[in-house]
Structure 1
């Protein structure tokens, strides 16, 4: 007799299990059930207690506690806090908790503060390894306000949390971080602070008490200092995303960064007329710059001509300041092998005459450009490529959104109108004159450059996410022609709508 198919065997097996009334999930080891619970929100895990007597206390085995009021509860904070307190009280004390996550609206309230303090006492006594406190203010949410201007007051972290030997990953949003004594986080690997006031003393205490810290992220924070010094031997990755305001209130206040042991640096977001300067970053191997440059009222109710006429002077001053800053940054980073530039940096390199790092000293081999599909960004790309004679791999990605409050098309129009201004010196690469509309529309104001091959080592180019017809015509086509003309050993050009597997190098 021929063997039965797998489908018929499965049906027969399922029929036998139904006859016996066997519950295979309930018969799983507690360790497996605990692992399954770790993928569920805590409220969902607790609901399994109604299945049967066997399942009444199974949820207490979960090593992950996730409380999300914004998704699973209404705005009644009291009900939510009572649920958390009851859950922590009933949780099996013999189970090690790895991850503790809270997401909720927060406003200053003695009852809520007392609950939060008790919950973090629980975190401290149960040796939680990953702690995430995601608070949001219903009136402000993610708006870039300044604490010193009377903005909302976040949750004050209790002092017991600063002596937590088992914590490995800590993320806070809208919390006041002020340790009164020494910080003891010997196991901490990563720290992310968002919407917080960060003083120099606080940061020094954290770095001194976190001997294993490898990753530090400061997002939408207000700094109480103008010089960030990191001497930690363990910290290798630093991310600074948006600074809420200058320390002195002066235009173009400078934040200095010194981190001799740092390997990876990312600076992104809005800086509101605040510049930064790199001092000692001698160990850096890759850098990522994607910071916004345009500071305006966020309204675009006028025509492009009216907007440019009213704001040209301010925009020109800002661009000149940032072009000067970029020049200094690139000179400091001449030793870095991997470099990523975002839309705003590319635009600065397009609009103004910028002298970048000396080409003979640049060691960059892997370059990623995240840019909008704007015609006005092509000169900036040429500027960057000219300065990297050792470049081997080039990745160009379509950025997901415009770097300012304006849309991509509006921003392109603004930049082109600024380029047409006689008071701005435009630095077009001669090769783009033949393939784009720049010279025809505005005329080239750049000095003639040598026609010798620019990219002597570039062998691989990957261009991704430029899928619209105007992307191909106005951006990708002239860019590819430029590369074909100037890259001597180019072996592969990949143009893809989706991201391909990374190159192995």
Structure 2
């Protein structure tokens, strides 16, 4: 400004601290040289954002000590509301192949120090390349009475890390591109869970216990389908299984093929006497989206044992769930008595799967869908599957004006 007056310093301290919390940590710290009055403002910023060492002289060898010093200096400052780590494994943390244990110890110490600052939100993202393994979190529980939101990306967590019972206030968890190295995941308090592009065991099933969960998103993960325990508070769920999973028969069946050399069917039967491994955990939902590749046998198996979806009002079914025999569609029409809106996205399924002895057979009983108000069919063209869907819907007594078909040719 023309007068050269420092009007920023006249702002209320709370405003200054908020502004500093929006800056990368190394820029926030540099404000201490602006004036005597700015010397300690950065210590009271409610958020710390560590965005890596790009452009730093010395790279990872200077970035690490800076983070150590920053978190140590915050010990005498105000409690942190949030701490955000956005790191690149090959740039910010690359100390050479012989220093990997040292690097992992340092990173884990950052997380512990951040939690001791009473943070409510922790985001820890590590970008990796296909040639590098995820960064391993140390074998101890994350413990904080204040943490409410946690985001993990590009890390490997074992049994203790993925037992969140030592974070009694945690309500929101997001995991992306992580490796789940545990037979169990648990949190009594968690309400919102998103797991995307994560790697699960291929030789074991992971049990998931989140009794307070309200929303659940499980999309495009790899490995064995986990075992879901009851989630009585669940309202919304989105599940998508692409072709990166191990629960498919090498011989192209939807039941246990009996071939001892078939790795896919080796875990066909659920552990611990679980008849229904996945779908039963979703039965309390009111809003549900389900999508799976056609050769995933778990859902076909689950439909034989799954109880009714007694609260379900909105349902979207894609791929396997709208396969040629329409078994899953009919099952939901019969077992979701309060269903109001149904969206179907048909897919073409090869005959070898549809003719498997283990494929789900439509129930031979009247279909009652008294609450159904609208059915949307989203397809590429009006083919044989769509005509079968219309035949099934006609059997429910649903008026034609409540059926909408959306396709490019319509």
TM-score strictly above 0.5: yes
Match of 1:131 among 118, 122, 145: 122
Q: Call closer, same or farther: CA 1:375–1:447 in 2, change over 3 Å.
A: closer
Q: How far has the Cα of 1:69 moved from its partner?
A: 1.8
2:201 and 2:314 map into 1 onto residues whose CA distance is: 31
Partner of 1:244: 200
Q: How far is the alpha carbon of 1:341 from its aligned partner?
A: 3.8
Q: Any unmatched runs of 5+ in structure 1? A: 1-17, 142-151, 155-173, 297-310, 400-411, 429-445, 498-505
Identify which of 277, 290, 312 aligns with 1:342: 290
Aligned positions of 1:106-255 closer than 5 A: 106-107=93-94, 108-109=99-100, 112=103, 116=107, 119=110, 122-123=113-114, 126-138=117-129, 140-141=131-132, 152=133, 154=135, 174-178=136-140, 184-191=143-150, 195-199=155-159, 206-207=164-165, 209-215=166-172, 220-225=178-183, 228=184, 234-236=189-191, 242-246=198-202, 249=203, 253-255=204-206
Match of 2:240 in 1: 290
1:22/1:331 CA distance change after superposition, 3 Å: closer
Alignment of 1:273-312 (within 5 A): 274-278=224-228, 281=230, 283-286=232-235, 287-292=237-242
Q: State the SS of the aligned residue for 2:230.
A: coil
Separation (CA, whole Å) in 2 of partners of 1:38 and 1:332: 44
Give how far 1:95 is off.
Answer: 3.3
Q: How does 1:407-418 map to 2 (within 5 A)?
A: 416=349, 418=350
Tell me which protein shows more helix as a share of its residues.
Answer: 1
Secondary structure of residue in 2 paired with 1:289: strand
Deviation at 1:343, TM superposition (A): 2.2
Most deviating of 263-272 and 322-331: 322-331
Q: Name the counterpart of 2:253.
A: 316
Unaligned runs of 5+ in 2: 258-264
Contact 2:279 2:306 survives alignment (8 Å)? no
Separation (CA, whole Å) in 2 of partners of 1:375 and 1:334: 19
Q: Which has the larger radius of gyration?
A: 1
2:292 aligned counterpart, secondary structure: helix
Q: Tell me the matched-pair count.
A: 382
Distance (whole Å) between structure 1 residues aligned to residue 199 and residue 297 of structure 2? 25
Cross-structure match for 2:221: 270
- TM alignment of 1:413-428, pairs within 5 A: 416=349, 418-419=350-351, 424=356
Question: After superposition, what is the alpha-carbon deviation per residue over 1:172-209, rounded to whole angstroms, capped at 9, x for unaligned?
Answer: xx422335xxx75333434556642423x6666x52x3
CA drift at 1:457: 1.0
The residue aligned with 2:373 is 459
* Aligned counterpart, 2:51: 68
> Would you say the 8 A contact 1:350–1:383 is kept in 2?
no
Match of 1:40 in 2: 23
Cross-structure match for 1:8: none
Tell me, yes or no, if the aligned pair for 1:327 and 1:355 is still in contact at 8 Å.
yes
Out of 398, 403, 409, the position equivalent to 1:488 is: 398
- Aligned-pair distance for 1:63? 2.0
TM-score, normalisation: structure 1: 0.55
1:312, distance to aligned residue in structure 2 (A): 8.3
Instruction: Check 1:36–1:234 CA distance in 2 against 1; reply closer, same or farther (3 A cut).
Output: same
For 1:362 and 1:351, locate their aligned partners in 2 and report how far apart those are by CA, in whole Å.
18
Q: Deviations along 1:4-33, whole A, 9 cap, x unmatched?
A: xxxxxxxxxxxxxx6655555443222112
Q: Does 1:382 align with 2:329?
A: yes
Indicate conservation of the 8 Å contact 1:336/1:363, yes or no: yes
Q: Give me the TM-score of the superposition, normalised by structure 2.
A: 0.65
Residues 350 and 380 of structure 1 are in contact (CA less than 8 Å); yes or no, is this contact kept in structure 2?
no
Q: Is the 8 A contact 1:385 1:455 kept in 2?
A: no
Bigger shift: 105-114 or 371-380?
Answer: 371-380
Give the secondary structure class of the aligned counterpart of 2:10.
coil
